[in-house]
Amino acid sequence: MRVATWNVNSLKARVGRVEEWLADVQPDVLCMQETKLSDDAFPALTFQALGYESAHHGQGQWNGVAILSKVGLADVVANFADGRPPDAEARLITATCAGVRITSVYVPNGRSLDHEHYRYKLAWLARLRNHVANNSSPLDQVIVTGDFNIAPDDRDVYDPSKMIGATHVSPAERAELAALCDWGMTDVLRRFHDQDKLYSWWDYRAGDFHMGRGLRIDLVLATAPVVARSTFSIIDRNARKGTSPSDHAPVIVDLAGA
DNA sequence: ATGGTCGTTGCACGA
């Protein structure tokens, strides 16, 4: 079973690239972020023609998350399932695919440490942890994947000195991510690759992709039963090349068995 | 020299 995540930065602008990539890589499950579509505008038929069921939680213009699956898509829950008023922004969707409870997340960017949006980011991360802990056990097969807008470690940053005082690396947001991992999840790519310079996002400007200036902020977190099945993981940086790419590359994880 | 692009929308702003 091949599971992938990709922040597509507008599915309307990217649907051709996504179709091409699906045909090439053949994931069983693809979690997408930043579809920037209303549910009405989501191209479900396009994905159905490629053999995928889909679930989308969108708001139009901004945000928007989706899950595509060839291996079943059950018990779909849009937004948080914690009994509190729903988050105003469309940033997570959860479904069960072949026995794995999978959440596609688009964590708030934060903008800057002194911005209201950064407080929203931290509160959102705490709520995500609560959502996961209250709806699943670390002994279950659980994946939380997407654009976390957090670089877990300085290895995941092209130049840590340029990120001092910035979002994506602050101790508070890294602590939130660590707390989710402490609950029982592992950053799967790091089970297979220890080295630095593995990035999943590069700014469109200044030739950052070509110059190797990126961040690893798109993560696949999984509980131990999923990690035990994992056989391979890679960031597909080829998908960042060519005409009209997203500014993010997909991250792929392969699992043994169904 | 501290820029640079893309997406949304609409002539600015978010990432």
A112-126: pLDDT as tens digits: 999 999 999 999 999
DSSP, residue by residue, A176-215: HHHHHHHHHEEETHHHH---S---SB--SGGGHHHHT--B
**CA–CA dist A9, A19 (Å, integer):** 15
Q: Is A106 annotated in the active site?
A: yes
What is the crossing angle of helices A171-184 and A116-135, to 10°?
A: 0
Helix/strand/coil for A21: helix
Taking Cα atoms as reference points, which of A34, A27, A38 lies closest to residue A3?
A27
Q: Flag whether pLDDT at A236 surpasses 70.
A: yes
**What does DSSP say about strands A2-7 and A251-255: parallel, antiparallel, or unpaired?**
antiparallel
Q: Give the model's pLDDT for residue A258.
A: 66
Q: What tokens were used for A37?
A: 């579509």
What is the arithmetic mean of pLDDT over A231-258?
Answer: 96
A154-211: pLDDT as tens digits: 999 999 999 999 999 999 999 999 999 999 999 999 999 999 999 999 999 999 999 9
Among left, alpha and beta (phi > 0; psi -120 to 50; other), residue A63 is left
H or E element that contains A191 = helix A189-192
Query: Quick one: which residue's CA is nearest to B3's C1'?
Result: A206
Strands (E), A123-212: 142-147, 185-187
Angstrom distance, A247 CA to B15 C1' = 9
Q: Flag whether pLDDT at A64 surpasses 80.
A: yes
Q: Flag whether pLDDT at A11 surpasses 70.
A: yes
A74-85: pLDDT as tens digits: 999 999 988 899
Q: Give the model's pLDDT for residue A97.
A: 98
CATH 3.40.640.10 fits A2-255, yes or no: no
Q: What tokens were used for A31?
A: 């979690």
**CA–CA dist A172, A169 (Å, integer):** 9
State which nucleotides on strand B lie below 7 Å from a protein beta carbon. 3-9, 14-15
Q: Give the model's pLDDT for residue A37.
A: 97
Percent of chain A with pLDDT over 90: 98
pTM of the model: 0.97
Q: What tokens were used for A29?
A: 């499950």
A21-34: pLDDT as tens digits: 999 999 999 999 99
Helix/strand/coil for A192: helix
Q: Which residues fall inside 7 Å of strand B, measured at CB?
A: A 9-10, 12-14, 36, 60-61, 108-109, 111, 117, 203-207, 244
The catalytically annotated residue of A28, A87, A106, A158 is A106
Domain boundaries, chain A: 2-255
**Average per-residue pLDDT for chain A:** 97
